[in-house]
Amino acid sequence: MESTSQTSLFERLKESLDSLRKSERKVAELVTEDPTFVMESSMSAVAARAGVSEPTVMRFCTGLGFDGFQAFKLALAQALILGVPSVESAMNRGDSVAELASKIFDQTISSIDRSRRFLDPDQMEQAVTAILGSRALVFIGLSASGLIAQDALQKAQLFGIPCSAPSDTHQQFMAAAMTDPETTFVVISNTGRTRSTMRVAEMARSRGATVIGISGDDDTPMMRVCDVKIVAKTFENTDIYTPTVSRLAGLVVIDILSTAVSLRRGEAHFADFEAMKAGLAGYARMSDRETDSGSASFD
Amino acid sequence: MESTSQTSLFERLKESLDSLRKSERKVAELVTEDPTFVMESSMSAVAARAGVSEPTVMRFCTGLGFDGFQAFKLALAQALILGVPSVESAMNRGDSVAELASKIFDQTISSIDRSRRFLDPDQMEQAVTAILGSRALVFIGLSASGLIAQDALQKAQLFGIPCSAPSDTHQQFMAAAMTDPETTFVVISNTGRTRSTMRVAEMARSRGATVIGISGDDDTPMMRVCDVKIVAKTFENTDIYTPTVSRLAGLVVIDILSTAVSLRRGEAHFADFEAMKAGLAGYARMSDRETDSGSASFD
DNA sequence: GTGGATTTGGTAGTAATACTACATAATTAA
DNA sequence: TTAATTATGTAGTATTACTACCAAATCCAC
């Protein structure tokens, strides 16, 4: 049985590379070099190109915890569609737009998959109950994380309790300084080291508010002062021209939280929601099309 | 060869269901019912459980355009990790947070995969050249699409040309009414029917500006007045409690555009970027950690 | 209806593939 | 240097995917 652990196949392969035997390593290298070939080839072909015998390939597969070559190939196929390892997907100047798009989609999907595997359900659960039990919500973030905060605000406004997402640092701090124990703060920072966001978190905490932290890592200064710690881990390449995929993971976390909260608020709230949606439909839609409140979402 | 067309395996299976022969349909039904079983079983096992002979299974695979059963299984494995078909992933009140998270991740990943397959490289290319050739940029959107516009603004500010993303409708219209042929407007609306956004697009167009549209569909009123049409297609369920995945697809499109534009602007711009990043690092980071401008991204 | 033609499904056989038991080579330790 | 242990390859087997061929069913003209 393959352990459906947190790490993806390629990561697992990489870290177990030095614990492998010499000839098995050849197989591992072939897999990382040309995974597509391995995926669509037979065991004999793989063995031949790696310069080893077939049982070695077999041992390589079972050694990684798979039932056999076939099972490994399936896992490889799945890992492959979540994006090729970042080595190949580095972007360079000569790339066509189509190539860029392909690489960015690869990175995006595999990053989201990664954040999925790292997301702690317990912390999410705690976050949901905290939100459900509070009388007001405040979302805090800057730049990319600020957008996540704004997005969260848009969704949280449907919860039926006062919520805000001040965008400049002074207003953020003021909100924290004036808060109370019945308010929940959601502080967002991918790095977890944004100074002003940290100060807001500390202040809110000291005022007795519940503080939920969303960050790319669990051991950051900001997270240490949070009651609930939600980790949205991504590949976030340090490369300059790499798009910031962290915000996408953050947005998915917001999706999950808001959906969970909405579901637990029950029918009464549901009716309000419908009314709001119907009103919005008449607002900004074209008149030559039927303004069906159902099929249209928010923009 | 399997046609790596726009439609995913399950969609393809569904639409070719009535063009299949009686016994092959049994196989198709088994695949949709219990894809995991099919994936990890041999042909004989599949044939037995479907109540048909092995060659029928074989014909089923080749009929769908695959080289054989193995190739089909690989494709199935890949389709499977992109999320089970949406029927099963409907959310209901009794779901635990973990289940919700799983379903939302499923939907998100498969939606992004879908938008990838529908994205037209030519239009993207045109968008990039349009942006590179313009002297100013304006991003327009409301609510969820407004966030995409803000995100685009954050990235576009690194291009070194004036850019803005007015957030209220009046300011948006004013920007369009005062624009010139050297400006490019990026108008964003998932539905493509947001009236005010459409009016902005029309006005900008009539003033001679280049208008790039980003929408969830290519045949919407808004798209008709756009010079460049970028389709970010998703599954966007009409269900109320379904999270809006469309914005994620939009953000990925922005990622691609901004990365492509950055890459084509060359070295001079690169230096500016580094300086900005270094400055930003000293700004908002903690002092107890080394403020490495490289490893930190934007928030 | 009936006989011919065509489509649809299954049987049996073959080539290949994955997997296993065993033996030899390499490496390490005594 | 030799014994023990580990690592790798050889040879063989059982399974699996695939193919050629045949039978049943369906369709259509008369």
pLDDT in tens, A50-96: 999 999 999 999 988 898 999 999 999 988 877 655 555 667 777 88
pLDDT at B241 over 70: no
Confidence label for B159 from pLDDT (cuts 50, 70 and 90):
confident
Mean pLDDT in residue range A90-105: 84
Q: What is the arrangement of strands in the sheet containing B210-215, beginning at the earlier edge strand?
A: B163-164, B136-140, B183-188, B210-215, B228-231
Token pair, residue A118, equals 């790292």
Mean of per-residue pLDDT scores for chain B: 83
Residue of B nearest to A81 (CA): B78
Contact indicator for B35, B76 with CB cutoff of 8 Å: yes
Strand D atom within 7 Å of A53 CB: yes
The residue behind tokens 């972007």 is A91
Calpha distance A104→A89 (Å, rounded): 8
B97 touches chain A (CB under 8 A): yes
pLDDT at A114 over 50: yes
Q: Which residue has the higher pLDDT, A12 or A153?
A: A153
Calpha distance B217→B200 (Å, rounded): 19
Percent of chain B scored above 70 by pLDDT?
80
B121 touches chain A (CB under 8 A): yes
Q: Which residue has the higher pLDDT, A279 or B286?
A: A279
Token pair, residue B254, equals 């922005």
Strand D atom within 7 Å of B53 CB: no
Query: Would the CB atoms of A270 and B240 count as touching at under 8 Å?
Result: yes
B40, B221, B285: residue with CB nearest A193:
B285
Half-sphere exposure for A110 (CA within 13 Å, toward CB): 24
Q: What is the CA radius of gyration of chain A?
A: 24
A71 touches chain B (CB under 8 A): yes
Token pair, residue A193, equals 């080291």
Contact indicator for A259, B100 with CB cutoff of 8 Å: yes
> Which residues lie closer than 8 Å to B181 by C-beta, 6 or more apart?
B207, B208, B209, B210
Mean pLDDT in residue range B203-210: 96
Calpha distance B86→B235 (Å, rounded): 9
Mean of per-residue pLDDT scores for chain A: 83
Lowest mean pLDDT among B13-27, B98-112, B197-211: B13-27
- So what's the pLDDT on residue A239? 52
Fold of A9-80: Arc Repressor Mutant, subunit A (1.10.10)
Q: What CATH number matches the domain at B121-265, 2.10.109.10, 3.40.50.10490, 3.40.50.2300, 2.30.40.10?
A: 3.40.50.10490
- So what's the pLDDT on residue B254? 94
Calpha distance A244→A144 (Å, rounded): 8
- So what's the pLDDT on residue B296? 35
- So what's the pLDDT on residue B297? 44
Phi and psi at residue B225, in whole multiples of 5°?
-100, 10
Strand D atom within 7 Å of A236 CB: no
Calpha distance A263→A270 (Å, rounded): 9
pLDDT at B291 over 70: no
Q: What is the pLDDT of residues A185-227, one digit of tens each?
A: 999 998 888 889 999 999 999 999 999 999 988 888 999 999 9
Residue of A nearest to B150 (CA): A147
| Closest Cα in chain A, distance from residue B178 (Å) | 23
Give the class (CATH, top level) of B9-81.
mainly alpha
pLDDT at A241 over 60: no
- Distance C9 C1' – B23 CA (angstroms): 8
pLDDT at A271 over 80: no
CA distances from A135 to A41, A130, A162, A204, B172 (A): 59, 10, 7, 15, 35
The residue behind tokens 């652990």 is A5
pLDDT at B252 over 90: yes
A234 touches chain B (CB under 8 A): no
Q: What is the pLDDT of residues B100-150, one digit of tens each?
A: 999 889 888 888 988 998 999 999 999 999 999 999 999 999 988 999 999
- So what's the pLDDT on residue A10? 83
Cα-Cα-Cα-Cα torsion B216, B217, B220, B225, nearest 10 degrees, comes to 80
Contact indicator for B186, B164 with CB cutoff of 8 Å: no
Nucleotide nearest to A72 (CA to C1'): C18
- So what's the pLDDT on residue B187? 97
Q: Which residue has the higher pLDDT, A58 or A4?
A: A58
Q: Among A108, A236, A292, A279, which Cα is nearest to B109's?
A: A108
B99 touches chain A (CB under 8 A): no
pLDDT at B31 over 80: yes
Q: Among A142, A184, A143, which Cα is nearest to A164's?
A: A184
Calpha distance A8→B191 (Å, rounded): 36
Calpha distance B58→A187 (Å, rounded): 54
Question: Strand C contacts (CB < 7 A) among A residues 24-53?
Answer: 42-45
Q: Which residue has the higher pLDDT, B282 or A192?
A: A192
- Distance C30 C1' – A26 CA (angstroms): 32
Calpha distance A157→A6 (Å, rounded): 34
Eight-class DSSP state of A157: G
- So what's the pLDDT on residue B256? 93
In this structure, the number of other CB atoms found within 10 A of the CB of residue A169 comes to 17
Confidence label for B208 from pLDDT (cuts 50, 70 and 90):
very high
- Chain A residue numbers with beta carbons less than 8 Å from the beta carbon of B286 are 193, 195, 198, 221
Lowest mean pLDDT among A70-74, A156-160, B213-217, B274-278: B274-278
Calpha distance B233→A254 (Å, rounded): 21
Calpha distance A294→A241 (Å, rounded): 40
In this structure, the number of other CB atoms found within 10 A of the CB of residue A88 comes to 12
Mean pLDDT in residue range B273-290: 52
Calpha distance B248→A148 (Å, rounded): 11
The residue behind tokens 């602007």 is B265
DSSP-assigned letters across all residues of B211-222: EEEEES-SSSHH
pLDDT at B36 over 70: yes
Delimit the domains of chain A by residue range. 9-80, 120-278
Phi and psi at residue B99, in whole multiples of 5°?
-65, -45
Contact indicator for A261, A161 with CB cutoff of 8 Å: no
Calpha distance A48→A7 (Å, rounded): 29
- So what's the pLDDT on residue A157? 86
Half-sphere exposure for A190 (CA within 13 Å, toward CB): 27
| Closest Cα in chain B, distance from residue A226 (Å) | 17
Nucleotide nearest to B53 (CA to C1'): C10
Q: What CATH number matches the domain at A120-278, 3.40.50.300, 3.30.830.10, 3.40.50.10490, 3.40.640.10?
A: 3.40.50.10490
